[in-house]
């Protein structure tokens, strides 16, 4: 009697929305309210805790994109949420730092430049997406993002960091200004690349 062939059920495929790269992006979004809550804890514990949360969230920003490319798990959900998560993290951190005057005086201008650029470029990307035009991220823009993250990290440590390294806040403000200047240039670069499509639509 011939053996009866048996079949094994194929393992269920993980939905792209629940892939590890997307889970890392979700985690970055969840980190935003956790960052706010920790920032307002009493004493310097809140500063260090908020810095740790910020660093962890910033690291996921690298790994979610890297893993999505390596594992070929790019998804529409990831492409939509990744820039949103980045901007929520940066904008929330800047607002927290302004709220207690860690960023104050003329340095407010640097924070405003960064936020204005992020909102403007997002609007440009949304418009160009409707035209099916892609604006690739430049290497300078990636360095700008890295510098922003490092600047915010120093500023989140703020007074707590000053107890260990007296110039922590000053270094953070200096890097924030450098980031703002690079932000202006990269913003101009994006608009220069997209202006021809804007003029074509109006023409």
Long-range contacts of 75-83 (CB under 8 A, 24+ apart): 75/16, 75/17, 75/19, 75/21, 75/22, 77/16, 77/17, 77/22, 78/16, 78/19, 78/21, 78/22, 78/25, 81/22, 81/25, 81/26, 81/29, 82/25, 83/122, 83/125
From CA 140, how far away is CA 102, in angstroms rounded?
A: 27
State the pLDDT at residue 8.
45
Burial degree of 106 (CB within 10 A; 0-12, 13-18, 19+): exposed
Query: Is residue 1 predicted with pLDDT exceeding 50?
Result: no
Query: Is residue 79 predicted with pLDDT exceeding 60?
Result: yes
> What is the average pLDDT across 143-167?
94
From CA 78, how far away is CA 60, in angstroms rounded?
A: 13
> What is the average pLDDT across 43-60?
93
Q: Would you state the CATH architecture of domain 16-202? A: Up-down Bundle (1.20)
pTM of the model: 0.83
State the pLDDT at residue 153.
97
Query: Is residue 131 predicted with pLDDT exceeding 80?
Result: no
Query: Is residue 147 predicted with pLDDT exceeding 90?
Result: yes
> What is the average pLDDT across 23-35?
91
> What is the average pLDDT across 91-114?
95
Query: Is residue 9 predicted with pLDDT exceeding 50?
Result: no
Query: Is residue 85 predicted with pLDDT exceeding 60?
Result: yes
Instruction: Kindly give the interhelix angle for 45-70 and 20-39, rounded to the nearest 10 degrees.
Output: 170
> What is the average pLDDT across 163-190?
92
Rounded to a whole number of angstroms, the distance between the first and last alpha carbons of the chain is 79
Query: Is residue 160 predicted with pLDDT exceeding 90?
Result: yes
- Give the residue with greater pLDDT, 126 vs 31: 31
Stretch among 20-34, 99-113, 118-132, 136-150 having the lowest mean pLDDT: 118-132
Query: Is residue 126 predicted with pLDDT exceeding 80?
Result: no
């Amino acid at each position: 009697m011939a053996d009866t062939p048996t079949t094994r059920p194929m393992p269920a495929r993980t939905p792209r929305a629940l892939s590890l790269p997307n889970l890392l992006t979700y985690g970055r979004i969840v980190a935003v309210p956790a960052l706010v809550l920790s920032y307002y804890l009493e004493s310097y514990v809140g500063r260090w805790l908020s810095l740790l949360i910020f660093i962890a969230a910033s690291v996921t920003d690298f790994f979610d994109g890297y893993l999505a490319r390596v594992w070929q798990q790019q998804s529409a959900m990831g492409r939509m949420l990744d820039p949103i998560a980045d901007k929520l993290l940066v904008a929330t951190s800047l607002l927290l730092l302004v709220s207690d005057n860690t960023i104050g005086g003329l340095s407010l201008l640097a924070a405003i430049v960064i936020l204005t650029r992020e909102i403007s470029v997002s609007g440009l990307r949304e418009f160009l997406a409707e035209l099916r035009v892609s604006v690739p991220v430049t290497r300078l823009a990636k360095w700008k993002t890295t510098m922003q993250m490092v600047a915010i990290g120093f500023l989140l440590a703020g007074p707590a960091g000053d107890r260990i390294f007296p110039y922590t806040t000053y270094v953070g403000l200096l890097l924030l200004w450098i980031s703002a200047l690079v932000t202006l240039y990269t913003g101009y670069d994006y608009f220069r690349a997209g202006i021809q499509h804007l003029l074509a639509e109006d023409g």
